[in-house]
Structure 1
């Protein structure tokens, strides 16, 4: 499959983890990358690393939880650069939201970032992309979207929402010239997973995960899930009858 090239790209959640890696990966391939996140000092360090590699990466301080401000900022970037070719909604948070001690404040924060923030990011310049007849929207979901996991009600639900949102967009935008990709990573080393105290099967190095994601985006894959071992396992869980799934997950919890 022929790989695409992008003149401009926006990547959110670029101060660490997959977002940081993907922003640098794209910049090193000649894309002018707008790297967006809340932590300015992390973005400045990323821009310096990109410059050392002869790449163009511009820091953009942005909090996607502030949805209206996010839409306004992205529209301004789109106008200033002559049109964004690629928008990657990567910013997200994870963590436990157990039903018996349901933490409302954390749940709201997760929804504001993972759901509302992602939609604001992807939808900000979608009409402009359709008008131009080109563009690529990428949403970073999770294998946790394949089934509601114990103690992860808010996280699984937020990723299920994003997956369904991307699927509907993919159907709606067929023939418009605007591509849609949904990516489902498994366990990847990051600031988020470093806090986990439970086993993480097939935990992947960030660099390998970024390479896989970047190539899937350039190929224009509509859906890409990895690693294959965890993907197969989650698909099996998805196919289980509810009583069997509930019993299995209760023991896992």
Structure 2
């Protein structure tokens, strides 16, 4: 399979933001794109937006926290559209969690959606791709998973779990013919980030993010992280000892 043989693409979290922009960008390239999210109306609206493009969007409503439904949806897509050659597991949510608002349910819900929502699809999908000896899988995490950040103890932990999962999986996939990419965006304008009350440095539009992701997937980069200036700064923070890191982050965030 060539690097861009994306005859059938599956995108989760496709109803808004990066997922929606990526679905439309791939449809312009002539791909058949299966789009999944919980919101049926939003998926149908996206299908309408894609009318007249070289490719087609096909809605497959799905709650990625439902393990059985994930396997059933994959089987339905492959029965109706053909084998999935590229999957972008992008479903996720965010919730800032201040110390006074801590509750177990918040941690459970974000881990079930952001982390287990990826695992629920990756397991049956990789089984199929291994049988074919080819395929491409992309997992959307976040630069928030690099190190602990204020009010991100739930969200950041779920994204850190995805980063670790992808790093381990990259080692396990050697020799299988399956390409894996880890997508770590900075701030991208989406309905989720629109709720943020703080300044977001280097904020990107979803269409710009989608273009950067496609470029990285074409080159089969393991990590696709952007924007580079923001990512570079956060990667430097990963190298700092705690004695420097904690005071610096408190000063930057004015805590």
TM-score (norm 1): 0.95
Cα shift readout 1:19-57 (whole Å, capped 9, x = no counterpart): 001111111111110000111111111111112324211
Deviations 1:189-247 (A, max 9, x none): 00010000011111111111111011111221111111111111101111111122122
Correspondences of 1:98-113 after superposition (within 5 Å): 98-113=98-113
2:186 pairs with 1:186: yes
Tell me if the contact between 1:75 and 1:124 (Cα under 8 Å) persists in the aligned partners: no
* Distance (whole Å) between structure 2 residues aligned to residue 55 and residue 46 of structure 1: 13
Give the distance between the partners of 1:125 and 1:236, measured in 2 at CA: 34
1:39–1:214: structure 2 CA closer, same or farther, 3 Å change rule? same
Post-superposition CA distance 1:152-204 (Å, at most 9, x none) = 01111111111111111111111111110001100010001000001111111
2:27–2:55: 8 Å Cα contact kept in structure 1? Answer: yes
**2:68 equivalent in structure 1:** 68
| Contact 1:87 1:121 (C-alpha < 8 Å) held by counterparts | no
Q: How many angstroms apart in 2 are the aligned matches of 1:243 and 1:103?
A: 28
* Partner residue in 1 for 2:150: 150
- Secondary structure at the aligned position of 2:63 is classed as coil
Structure-2 residue corresponding to 1:93: 93
In structure 2, the partner of 1:42 is 42
> Whole-Å Cα distance in 2 between the matches of residues 195 and 103 of structure 1?
20
Counterparts of 1:69 and 1:247 in 2: how far apart (Å)? Answer: 45
Contact 1:64–1:118 (8 Å) recurs in 2: yes
Give secondary structure in 2 for the equivalent of 1:51: coil
Per the TM alignment, residue 123 of structure 1 is displaced from its structure 2 partner at its CA by 1.9
Residue 235 of structure 2 is matched in structure 1 by: 235
Distance in 2, matches of 1:178 and 1:78, equals 17
Which aligned pairs between 1:102-251 and structure 2 lie closer than 5 A?
A: 102-251=102-251
Is contact 2:9-2:32 (8 Å) kept? yes
**Aligned-residue offset at 1:3:** 4.8
Give the count of matched residue pairs.
252
Per-residue CA distance 1:124-162 (angstroms, 9 max, x = gap): 221110110111110011111110111101111111111
- Whether contact under 8 Å (2:31, 2:56) holds in the other structure is yes
Deviates more, 1:166-175 or 1:47-56: 47-56
Task: Quote the Cα distance in structure 2 between the aligned partners of 1:198 and 1:15.
Answer: 25
- Give the 4+ runs in structure 1 shifted more than 3 A: none
Distance 1:214 1:123 in 2: 23
After superposition, the CA RMSD in angstroms is 1.5
1:14/1:23 contact within 8 Å kept: yes
Which deviates more from structure 2 when the two are superposed, residues 168-177 or residues 77-86? 77-86
Structure 1 gap segments, 5+ residues each: none
Aligned residue for 2:180, secondary structure, equals strand
The answer on whether the counterparts of 2:7 and 2:32 sit within 8 Å (CA) in structure 1 is: yes
- For residues 157 and 187 of structure 1, the distance between their equivalents in structure 2, rounded to whole angstroms, comes to 17
User: Does the 8 Å CA contact 1:8/1:33 hold for their aligned counterparts?
Assistant: yes
TM-score normalised by the chain length of structure 2: 0.94
